[in-house]
Amino acid sequence: MSYEERILALQIPGADEQARAEARERWNAVAKPIGSLGLLETAIEHIAACTGSAEIDISQRAVIAMCADNGVVEEGVTQTGQEVTALVAENMARAQSSVCRMGAVAGAKVFPINVGMAFPAPNVRDCRVMDGTNNMTKGPAMSREQAAQAIWTGVKVVRELVSQGYRMFATGEMGIGNTTTSSALASVLLDMDPSVVTGKGAGLSDEGLMRKVGAIKRAIAVNEPDATDPLDVLSKVGGLDIAGLVGVYLGAAEARIPVVIDGFISAVAALIAIRMFPKAKDAMLSSHASAEPAVKAVLEAIGLRAPIHADMRLGEGTGAVCLFPLLDMALCVYDGTSFSGLGIDAYDTDLV
């Protein structure tokens, strides 16, 4: 069975609306004004619908960081070289990177996965499909089956971590050049001009931004990706890290485990997962609206609102882990004192 056939055979259950309704009723019974925690209440209800239960435990959680390199860096679209991908991934493996430090505060362990780095990182789990993608301005970034293999890698990693007891995930990535591939994917999938969806990434100059936009336009012209076929688009102008993240979303949805979207790159991967399996959205939560120009359009296409607006753009999963403490605080209220426990009449929901 090919990797694509394995993906197509996945069973994605979708949301349990009864569990969502039970979570909403529970919120309405808590001794506070109805809906007063806003998107945090919605997030808890969404988790209940994902897991199928209004009893929620997300205490064991992990960040899955897909690491890969992108051949398009040959076009001068980045400030640093591909060797940085391996250096940061190695730092993740040593629990010393930014997301690891933030994850330690938020109670999340970080698992870096080498799904296609150009340089070795001995302490990072090796699941390489290839040693970085091809230069997409000269042809497809990878074959269709290689893209499917990377997706399947994400599915397998999630299955393993679920078997170890993890009950919530955040997506992260590391890959020099991946804002270029993400912008190319967003341009095709959303039918938007590359100049509109492309930002400066990790510190490009105005001249560098022009090179980046030009590279994306050439890649789309050369490859002619089919916007109605997300795997075709991913293989032609995407990246292995993004493909791995698609698998994380699909694996989480299959297992009824909530997964938090990080920033722009992770959001583009989420959009691809939804285009492949619309019910995958029922397992997703948005964390923050990053500083990349297209993130608003991508989140709107997904149909999710980000509760955190902090102009973050670090990547690695750092924005996603910021949501965990907020969810913990929301759950403290969700599991807190009810109106009846205080001897107070509850709010009339018909009047709200």
Q: Which amino acid is at 86?
A: A
Cβ-proximal residues to 12 (8 Å cutoff; 6+ apart), any chain: 250, 253, 254, 277, 279, 280
Tell me the three state secondary structure of residue 259.
Answer: strand
Q: Which of 285, 330, 327 has the alpha carbon at shortest distance from 305?
A: 285
Annotated active-site residue in 75, 254, 292, 316: 316
Q: Please count the other Cβ atoms lying within 10 Å of the Cβ belonging to residue 38.
A: 11
- Contacts by 93-102 with C-beta closer than 8 Å and gap 24+? 93/121, 93/123, 93/124, 94/123, 97/316, 98/314, 98/316, 98/318, 99/63, 99/65, 99/172, 99/314, 99/316, 99/317, 99/318, 99/321, 102/318, 102/321, 102/322
CA distances from 182 to 70, 157, 234, 264, 272 (A): 11, 22, 9, 7, 11
Active-site residue, 316 included? yes
Active site residue ranges? 316
